[in-house]
Chain A
Amino acid sequence: MNYHWNWGIFLEQVKAGEETYLDWLITGLGWTLAVSLMAWVLALLCGSVVGTLRTAPHRGAAFAATAWVETFRNIPLLVQMFLWFFVAPELLPRDLALWVKQDMPAKEFFTAVICLGLFTSSRVAEQVRAGIQSLPRGQHMAGLALGFTLPQTYRFVILPMAFRIIVPPLTSEFMNIFKNSSVAFAIGVLELTFQARQMQEDSEQGIETYLAVTLLYFICAFLANRGMAWIEKRSRVPGLIAASR
């Protein structure tokens, strides 16, 4: 292969500016972390509510929750990105739409957070539902028999156990969210994949660029994995299902 290697490229200055290529990758990493972490908070909140509602003894609520999950789970993430970015503003009144399209600050960032957060919420919801349904029915009945209301039964009996059970699959989702955030480059968020494309175009050192970016994504996902493993260990209660190993 006739490739001109240059591992020092990261410390070189970009063509039009004082910053180095490393600075580009670091700002890119910052946006990747910001999008992923904010989307994860949104996904956990919405996913918990929707997943719980799917098991509720109320047909309307359960139907709405199922519709939520199927909508966000069955459309490819990239298509959802474009729907939120290009289509959603067109449904607003004309003046508001123009504001969103031209003047709203950080619109790409918020669009990406909402899109990625809701997409992941459908997956979190399925895991929350699975966690709840994996508990013996007796738990639910015992809670009610003790005089708890239905919300209290969920709050004090079912959810504390369900959440402990689903920590391992949630770990995968948390790692996925960092990797999925790369789709946000398509609507112009200046995250890691965006900066990688920019750097490869500017420097023509594509292999070094993508190896570095691969390593950064790997580190993000790996730290997420270790963090969740720590939570898994800390939240384990002796005698509960999650602890039976």
Chain B
Amino acid sequence: MKSALALGLTLAAALVAAQPAQADTLAKIKASGTLTMGIRESSYPLSYLDDKQQPIGYHIDVCNKIVDAVKAELKLPTLKVQHQPVTSQNRIPLVTNGTVDLECGSTTNNEARKKQVDFALTTFVTNVRMAVKKASGVTSLAQLDGKPVATTTGTTSVQLMRANEKGKNVNFKEVYGKDHADSFLMLETDRAVAFVMDDNLLAGLIVTSKNPADYAIVGEVLNVEPIAIMIRKDDPAFKKLVDSTVTGLMKNGELEKLYNKWFMAPIPPKGANMNFPMSDKLKELIKHPSDAPAEAYNKKS
């Protein structure tokens, strides 16, 4: 018993003692000859697996361009790329501990995360809104007083809903799904009358549901969130390379082409079309690239 406790304390002390060091991703890639890309399994259409379990999506395409730039910079044409699936729980630890060099998923850039990691220039902007059944006639949060509203455990939407309750003097009954599919199931089976989440994720869930025509994305925008590729903190050389690649794609119109390929045309595996036109915010960001966190987009009134 005592020795087990001592072992636990020693481990904890070792964890605390681990000192942050200056990261040098390019040197690490050069030494090992491999770059590890963090991918998501079902973040449609930013980063997901196709029917052959290969990672595809809008951010994967952007990351492949970055890999090309790394190959050119290091003069390493034979650079190997490894794919490491990540989840919203483990993506930040995996980047900070050196497992993942380039996280190509659907990560919101915010101030709390910027303490742990750094972000490339914003390549996608999502609006937090709600999905409802058309038949319910709901078009605004104010109509949801006393009604069950679903969201997913461990997402920023939970806090957004609580903040809105206080501001608008309404009282939801919050219900929580353990992942987006579960939360959508709550809407589908009438456990919730609305599901609050990032609008691109809602659009993806609706397109792949049994009766896409039954659902609509409605209501006010609760939050605007910049989504970006994630890299290690304090690594100016790698960040510069990533950012200049992204800026290049923005300037020569390639990024817009990639956007249209994934958001405005049929995509694998089912050939569904998201029909999700580019937002004005993202058009503006393509003209004036920025890596500002979400807080800069949502000034508190």
Contact = CB atoms under 8 A, between A and B. Distances in A.
20 contacts: A2-B21, A2-B233, A3-B93, A4-B115, A4-B116, A14-B159, A15-B159, A16-B162, A16-B163, A17-B159, A98-B190, A108-B175, A185-B178, A188-B153, A188-B176, A188-B177, A194-B176, A197-B153, A198-B153, A203-B112
Contacts of A15: 112, 159
Contacts of A108: 175
B88 A201 contact: yes
A201 B152 CA distance: 11
A186 B182 CA distance: 9
Nearest to A202: B159
Contacts, number: 93
Interface residues of A, number: 32
A153 B290 CA distance: 80
A145 interface: no
Contacts of B182: 186
B23 interface: yes
B277 interface: no
Interface string B129-170: 000000000000000000110000111101110110000000
B267 interface: no
Q: Is the interface of A mostly helix, strand, loop or mixed?
A: helix
Q: Which one of B96, B98, B163, B178 has the greatest number of beta carbons of chain A within 10 Å?
A: B178
A201 B189 contact: no
Contacts of B16: 5
Interface residues of B, number: 43
Interface in A96-147: 98, 101-102, 108
Interface string A188-206: 1010001001101111101
Interface in B83-121: 88-89, 92-93, 96-98, 112-113, 115-116
